[in-house]
Structure 1
Amino acid sequence: MGFNERERAFVEWYPRGYGVGFKVKRKLFEVQTEYQKLELYETEGFGKLLVLDGTVQLVERGEESYHEPLVHPVMLAHPNPRNVLIIGGGDGGTLREVLRHETVEKATMVEIDEKVIEVSKLYLDVAKGAFEDPRADVKVDDGVKYLKETDERFDVIIVDSTDPVGPAKLLFSEEFYRSAYEKLNGRGLYVTQAGSVYLFTNELLDAYRAMKKVFDKVYYFSFPVIGYASPWSFLVGVKGDVDFTKVKGERAGKLKLHYYDPERHETLFQMPRYVRELLERA
């Protein structure tokens, strides 16, 4: 896994020998932060590539294919999302997309690794001013701890974490989901990325089962993401009577999105048949 100097390529290897790679012009730098190894590369066709502990986080050209489906389906399904919490997302892409919604009065972002924020501000064209937006409240803290201890209540909670394996496991636990449910307002939505549909199927099923024990209703959907072993899965937990199958068209028209299409919202729910059957039995 990682950068191959001879081939001038970075490859992330998934289970069963499946890899996703980019041709690389040069390695910009590598640093061991307090929490993880951070690498930054200049790719041939996708701008800069951000890697954490050997896993692709994003490429500048195409990162919207992840941030748009993570953010806008829940934001547009909620009747009036004013107070939003983002856990993770140190590159600023999720914060940027949340702040595109005029209803948002405050967006709190809690990132555990300050170095990710610092590098993203200095080197990546992703946040596009989101960190400086007066509605943004950026905190360097442990998201699990913050959610458990905060007195705030949120309309939408978005978890933009690393894969549901290793250090991020806690973010996919029943205990964490219960903290999130408690901190949502009476009508609230929770969304998390949940890994590769094909290669992290068991992790997806585990997270889905745990969420079903907590939320009033749970939805699953998938989306093709540039740089990931797609299709990539997402899970949505509902508190109250919010209908995630429908989005607010009048708000959607102002966004001018590139990847997620609110007019075809129903296409999100297409899932490979065998995976859908596994989820239905979970």
Structure 2
Amino acid sequence: MEFIEWYPRGYGVGFKITSKILEVQSEYQKIELYETEGFGKLLVLDGTVQLVEDGEKSYHEPLVHPVMLAHPGPRRVLVIGGGDGGTLREVLRHKSVEHATMVEIDKKVVEVSMEHLKIDEGLLERLFRKEEPRAELIIGDGVEYMKAHKEHFDVIIVDSTDPVGPAKLLFSEEFYRNAYEALNKKGIYITQSGSVYLFTDELLEAYNNMKRVFDKVYYFSFPVIGYASPWSFLVGVKGDIDFTKIDIERAKELELEYYDPERHETLFQIPKYVRELLEKEPKS
């Protein structure tokens, strides 16, 4: 057996499968969970790979730690999406965090992840029982939640599906304006933004939308296991945070596996033609 996710232009990323653990249709999407030959469990939503158990940190670490370490003191954090619990797990590794909120629209993803995937180290179960003093889980619409909280968060992390189809709203100028208003006077926002090579147009559109809103916008890429890498990330800054610089002393406490804070500058290596497209003035 095998599972292949097909990207544009006939490019596929595949895994050898030893068994299907479950397939269920939630209110929002089809959820599949497989056991792979060499990477543990594979989580798939509507046919797209979300993560593989042995390698999920190659996504969650660059999504979380660069922005957390660039902010001088992140105390309140919002995670939109991230129903598998990996993003919030990494957020709570930062001692400065006083309260983190995860807003996931699909309760079934959380339940499947909690029962079968278990990359969250018991975090999701504690959230359901309201036994996690530094975090809360809200099943609901992250967009609406963000609109209702102005100047409330130091860091906002959007752990969404790819910037195509229904998730495209999360890459719109309107969404970024809501995110900007939800950040404190000094805040930082990050989203994954798709395959550098295969979603270049979507990356470019999202980047230009962010530039119309945030005080500074940065882009970087990282090789993520299970994705059509290099995978892109976009960072929006409100205030005077310099995302090119991070707190190395705080980073030493984390013992990371994939993202290397001592080589933070390597995040910004991106193919020349993509960099030139991003730095080109958009057409009015």
Structure 1-normalised TM-score? 0.96
Q: Paired residue for 1:86, among 55, 67, 79?
A: 79
1:20 match: secondary structure: strand
**Which residue identity is paired with 1:237?**
G
Does residue 1:63 correspond to 2:62, yes or no?
no
**Which residue identity is paired with 1:65?**
S
Shift of 1:146: 1.2
Matches within 5 A, 1:1-282: 8-131=1-124, 132=126, 133-151=132-150, 153-281=152-280, 282=282
Q: Contact (CA 8 Å) 2:151, 2:184: kept in 1 or not? A: no
**Which residue identity is paired with 1:41?**
Y
Task: Please tell me the root mean square deviation across aligned C-alpha atoms, in Å.
Answer: 0.8
Shift of 1:144: 1.2
**Which residue identity is paired with 2:11?**
Y
Higher deviation after alignment, 136-145 or 58-67: 136-145
2:174 match: secondary structure: helix
**Which residue identity is paired with 1:271?**
I
Quick one: distance in 2 between partners of 1:253 and 1:150? 32
- What's the counterpart of residue 5 of structure 1? none
Q: Contact (CA 8 Å) 2:160, 2:167: kept in 1 or not? A: yes
Per-residue CA distance 1:220-248 (angstroms, 9 max, x = gap): 00000000000000000000000100000
Per-residue CA distance 1:57-84 (angstroms, 9 max, x = gap): 0010000000000000000000000000
Shift of 1:152: 6.2
Q: Contact (CA 8 Å) 1:130, 1:136: kept in 2 or not? A: no
Q: Contact (CA 8 Å) 2:150, 2:181: kept in 1 or not? A: no
Q: Contact (CA 8 Å) 1:217, 1:238: kept in 2 or not? A: yes
Q: Contact (CA 8 Å) 2:194, 2:233: kept in 1 or not? A: yes
Q: Contact (CA 8 Å) 2:114, 2:122: kept in 1 or not? A: no
Per-residue CA distance 1:86-140 (angstroms, 9 max, x = gap): 0000000000000000000011000000000000000113111333232111000
Q: Contact (CA 8 Å) 1:144, 1:170: kept in 2 or not? A: no
Q: Contact (CA 8 Å) 1:12, 1:55: kept in 2 or not? A: yes
Identity %, equivalent residues: 76
1:244 match: secondary structure: coil
CA separation of 1:245/1:152 partners in 2, compared to 1, >3 Å: closer, same or farther?
A: closer
Q: Contact (CA 8 Å) 1:99, 1:130: kept in 2 or not? A: no
Shift of 1:201: 0.2
Quick one: distance in 1 between partners of 2:133 and 2:16? 38
**Which residue identity is paired with 1:38?**
I
Q: Contact (CA 8 Å) 1:9, 1:24: kept in 2 or not? A: yes
Quick one: distance in 2 between partners of 1:129 and 1:116? 15
Q: Contact (CA 8 Å) 2:216, 2:238: kept in 1 or not? A: yes
**Which residue identity is paired with 1:170?**
L
Gaps of 5+ in 2: 127-131
Quick one: distance in 2 between partners of 1:257 and 1:63? 12
Q: Contact (CA 8 Å) 2:66, 2:246: kept in 1 or not? A: yes
Residues matched between the structures, number: 275
Gaps of 5+ in 1: 1-7
Per-residue CA distance 1:246-277 (angstroms, 9 max, x = gap): 00011000000000000000000000000000
Quick one: distance in 1 between partners of 2:119 and 2:151? 28
2:77 match: secondary structure: strand
